[in-house]
Amino acid sequence: MTLDVTPSRLAGILCGLLILTGCCKGATAPPMYCAAPRSIAVIVNALDSLSLASVADSAHGMVQSGAYVDSLHLEFGVLEGGTKLGTYQVTIERRGYRQWVRTNVQVRQQGPCGNVVPVRLTALLQRA
């Protein structure tokens, strides 16, 4: 079996391949999109230490990595905060409970799109 490839057909095939890499003059590659979730460094599930019921609804706190400080925000029943890689201290407070602190929380992984992969923690809050 032989392939009958003319020079013009070969040029068209090569240009088609080069379009995919954006190297053909006047051609543009299709845009590349990343469907990664937004960068969140720390996700905390705040629970009552005895009943294990969620108490995140009225809890608040912060994450700190060096000079970088971010508030924890309630999202879908968990507390989220931070957007960068680093070593964090996580602090959670809720009325009627003792302050909960976790130090040396290592956020080290990035996803394929450069997003921060969060560290997931469970905070068992003790009644005051």
Q: What is the pLDDT of residue 20?
A: 46
Tell me, what's the pLDDT at 75? 95
In tens, the pLDDT along 21-51 reads 444 455 555 566 777 778 999 999 999 999 9
Q: Which regions of the chain are under pLDDT 70?
A: 1-32
* pLDDT value for 6: 65
Query: What does the pLDDT read at residue 117?
Result: 95
Architecture of domain 42-125: Sandwich (2.60)
Q: Give the model's pLDDT for residue 18.
A: 45
CB neighbour list of residue 5: distance below 8 Å, 6 or more residues apart: 13
- The 8-class DSSP code of residue 49 comes to T
Domain extent listing, the chain: 1-32, 42-125
- Give the pLDDT of residue 116: 95
Cα separation of the two ends of the chain: 84
- Angle made by CA atoms 24, 29, 31, in degrees to the nearest 5: 165
Full-prediction pTM beyond 0.85? no
- Phi and psi at 11, nearest 5°, equal -65, -40
Residue 48, judged by CB atoms within 10 A of its CB (0-12, 13-18, 19+), counts as middle
Contacts of 119 (CB under 8 A, 6+ apart): 41, 42, 43, 88, 105, 106, 107
Token pair 């990595």: residue:
65
| CA dist., res. 75 & res. 92, Å (int) | 15
